[in-house]
A and B are shown apart, each in its own frame.
Chain A
Amino acid sequence: MSHFGRITLGLGLAFLYGPILVLVAFSFNASALVTVWGGFSTRWYGVLFADGALLAAALVSLRVALAAAALATLFGTLAALALDRGGRFPGRSAFAGLLYVPMVMPEVITGLALLLLFVGTGLERGLVTLVVAHATLGLGFIAVIVGARLKGLDHTLEEAAADLGAGPLRVFATVTLPLIAPAVAAGFLLAFTLSLDDLVIASFAAGPGATTLPMRLYSQVRLGVNPEINAASTLLVGGVTLIVLGASWLSACGGIRSDVGTG
């Protein structure tokens, strides 16, 4: 790599991750003042794990993320299958296009629309509405990831299974699903992190009883930033990073295994 390349890469990475590194560094600050370095300490992590309200919010976030990701994975995978295998059903291209909308729609608008829907249908806002809202957010991503995998799948593998006496259900369960599993899992993890990170939609869709971790952090920040927030954020960033790495690893090893058909 040239000097120029190295420098631009360094600048780009610094621009992206500099703020996060500052946050991580200050989470180990012994001082209670956010902007003054008072030596290394893990005391704020101790404070964090003694904060019942924050832990409760984290638990809500995890439960919502799990449920929303599961729901989004189920429907996103079904949508991808319909698009790839459904032939040319009426409204196919409209359906394909509409799947992308939640991905590009400003979150405020999605949140507001969901709020109006929940109020209009008389659905009481709480965990359930939060799960539904986050499933909506993740569904499109999963449909795209699984769809790409399906498109790359060698169709003769399924034909071979059918030829060997397997009915459509057995073909799906024993050939299609195992081969798209890495993409499904990657999609699940992505939907999980999307739900875990979301603040805007959650603010609209969650009721008084369901406060997620980002909501809790945001409300605390408004009262003033303290190092405990830094510690919580560091853990959140760490967890999400691990999940994203896991997702991309799953996609990558899936990509290698898809080419094993011929000599």
Chain B
Amino acid sequence: MGGTGSTPRLDLTGVTKRFGDSVAVADVSLALAAGEFFCLLGPSGCGKSTLLRLVAGFEAPNLGVIRVDGQDMAGLPPHRRPVNIMFQSYALFPHKDVAGNIAYGLPDLGRADRTGRVRDLLARVRLENFENRRIETLSGGQRQRVALARALAREPGVLLLDEPLGALDRGLREETQGELRALQRRLGITFVMVTHDPGEAMALADRIGVMDRGRLVQVGDAATLYERPATRFVASLLGDVNLIPGRVAGRDGDWAVVQTGFGPLRARAPGTMPGEGEAATLAIRPERVGLGAGTGPAGTVTEVTFLGERIRRRIRMEDGTLLRASMPAVAQAPDPHGVGAAIRLDLDPEACRLLPA
């Protein structure tokens, strides 16, 4: 996916943006290939929207270089950049009708070409015959489509989308996700989408970049981020996770032994941090916590929640640490691991990851 050999479609190098004393975007470097669907994921205020505005040209970085197809964007005003943005508020012009909005970016086309182009774009977002509708008569979902069509009208190399599904209700959101993905595939345009919803990012993106307090902390596909998070922040952002505090008791290549409150555990430990003797966190997803009768750490089931397809258990370890275990629901009566049952944990070292404290 890195576009080896060819120039990246969008290339950020050491991009930093400060507002007064606060750093909104800190030293972000990123290269996106043509046709890639990239999601910037993070909580509100993490700088992801500012990063989009830097690429669109509404803000200028304090440091760093932004290139599109190798061309430096520095000093180029928004209207000269080969990128388009779709705003979270859609920013549709209230004084123009649907066709007027979509054709706004096509002033140089003749009347006939423009009419045809608007019709094509409306067909793409499944809004045939909406040309003459006023914006205030459209539903939220229809406005979202008009905004998308307008942003696509100039056939940008990169389309920036700021929470494009944020204003839609849940059902419509999931439906629109699929359409957005299909549209992006068909057009081959590089999408950079900002979202705070991990599920949305995982469903849509080829690669996800997680942002935390202005920094791009990890970039990878959904499976990588989920299975091999680099920090506690990434681990807990993408789904439920048990974060067990401890200290590194020993290291051996890509493996480490972590001394936790309820005994030593083996864990995957890529890299060198944290080193031996240092405080660390051991992360394991609840679905990777097995319950057995072997020789693993001992605990007691304190709560059982039936969630339909899954059963979630809360387990209190001997030192008081609470862990969550989740497994497929299997009809089994009586439940061998009901509330109060003494169990042994079966923790696969491959599923345990060593993270900085």
Q: Which residues of A contact B (CB under 8 A)?
A: 154, 156-157, 159-167, 170, 174-175, 178-179, 257-258, 260-263
Contact segment of B88-96, B121-129, B241-249, B302-310: B88-96
Q: A162-B79, A163-B78, A167-B79 are known contacts. Are A261 and B92 too (CB-CB below 8 A)? A: yes
Which chain B residues lie closer than 8 Å to A263 at the CB level?
Answer: 90, 138-141, 143-144, 167-168
Q: Does B150 contact A (CB under 8 A)?
A: yes
Name the contact of B154 in the complex, choosing from A162, A165, A167 (C-beta under 8 A).
Answer: A165
Cα–Cα distance between A159 and B93 once the two chains are bound (Å): 11
A166 close to B79 (CB less than 8 A): yes
A-B contact pairs, 24 of them (CB 8 A): A154-B91, A156-B91, A157-B94, A159-B91, A160-B150, A161-B93, A163-B84, A164-B105, A164-B153, A164-B154, A165-B154, A166-B79, A166-B107, A179-B94, A179-B95, A257-B136, A260-B92, A260-B135, A261-B91, A262-B90, A262-B140, A263-B140, A263-B143, A263-B168
Interface contact tally, CB-CB below 8 A: 80
With a 10 A CB-CB cut-off, give which of B56, B78, B85, B140 has the most chain A CB atoms.
B78
Cα–Cα distance between A197 and B121 once the two chains are bound (Å): 54
Interface SS, B side: loop
B56 close to A154 (CB less than 8 A): no
Which chain B residues lie closer than 8 Å to A174 at the CB level?
Answer: 104
A257 close to B95 (CB less than 8 A): yes
Cα–Cα distance between A104 and B161 once the two chains are bound (Å): 48
Name the contact of B78 in the complex, choosing from A159, A178, A262 (C-beta under 8 A).
Answer: A159
Cα–Cα distance between A175 and B101 once the two chains are bound (Å): 11
A160 close to B154 (CB less than 8 A): no
A175 close to B93 (CB less than 8 A): yes
Which chain B residues lie closer than 8 Å to A260 at the CB level?
Answer: 92, 94, 135-136
Q: What is the size, in residues, of chain B's interface with A at 8 Å between Cβ atoms? A: 31
B153 close to A261 (CB less than 8 A): no
Name the contact of A262 in the complex, choosing from B79, B84, B89, B105 (C-beta under 8 A).
Answer: B89
Which chain B residues lie closer than 8 Å to A166 at the CB level?
Answer: 79, 104, 107
Could you mark each residue 5-49 of chain B with 1 if its beta carbon is under 8 Å from any beta carbon of chain A, else 0? 000000000000000000000000000000000000000000000
Cα–Cα distance between A120 and B135 once the two chains are bound (Å): 56
B143 close to A262 (CB less than 8 A): yes
Interface SS, A side: helix
Which chain B residues lie closer than 8 Å to A179 at the CB level?
Answer: 94-95
B78 close to A162 (CB less than 8 A): yes
B105 shortest CB reach to chain A, Å: 3
A258 close to B94 (CB less than 8 A): yes
Which chain A residues lie closer than 8 Å to B87 at the CB level?
Answer: 156, 159-160
A154 close to B107 (CB less than 8 A): no
A220 shortest CB reach to chain B, Å: 47
A261 close to B104 (CB less than 8 A): no
When C-beta atoms are compared, the residue in chain A nearest to B84 turns out to be A163
B123 shortest CB reach to chain A, Å: 20
Q: Does B233 contact A (CB under 8 A)?
A: no
When C-beta atoms are compared, the residue in chain B nearest to A262 turns out to be B89
Cα–Cα distance between A180 and B84 once the two chains are bound (Å): 25
B79 close to A165 (CB less than 8 A): yes
Cα–Cα distance between A232 and B85 once the two chains are bound (Å): 59
Which chain A residues lie closer than 8 Å to B93 at the CB level?
Answer: 157, 160-161, 175
B95 close to A163 (CB less than 8 A): no
Which chain B residues lie closer than 8 Å to A161 at the CB level?
Answer: 93, 104
When C-beta atoms are compared, the residue in chain A nearest to B80 turns out to be A165
Cα–Cα distance between A175 and B94 once the two chains are bound (Å): 9
Which chain A residues lie closer than 8 Å to B92 at the CB level?
Answer: 160, 260-261
B91 close to A160 (CB less than 8 A): yes
When C-beta atoms are compared, the residue in chain B nearest to A159 turns out to be B58
B221 shortest CB reach to chain A, Å: 29
When C-beta atoms are compared, the residue in chain A nearest to B141 turns out to be A263
With a 10 A CB-CB cut-off, give which of B87, B91, B104 has the most chain A CB atoms.
B91
Which chain A residues lie closer than 8 Å to B90 at the CB level?
Answer: 261-263
Cα–Cα distance between A160 and B85 once the two chains are bound (Å): 8
Which chain A residues lie closer than 8 Å to B140 at the CB level?
Answer: 262-263
Which chain A residues lie closer than 8 Å to B199 at the CB level?
Answer: none
Which chain A residues lie closer than 8 Å to B95 at the CB level?
Answer: 178-179, 257
A156 close to B94 (CB less than 8 A): no
Cα–Cα distance between A223 and B141 once the two chains are bound (Å): 71
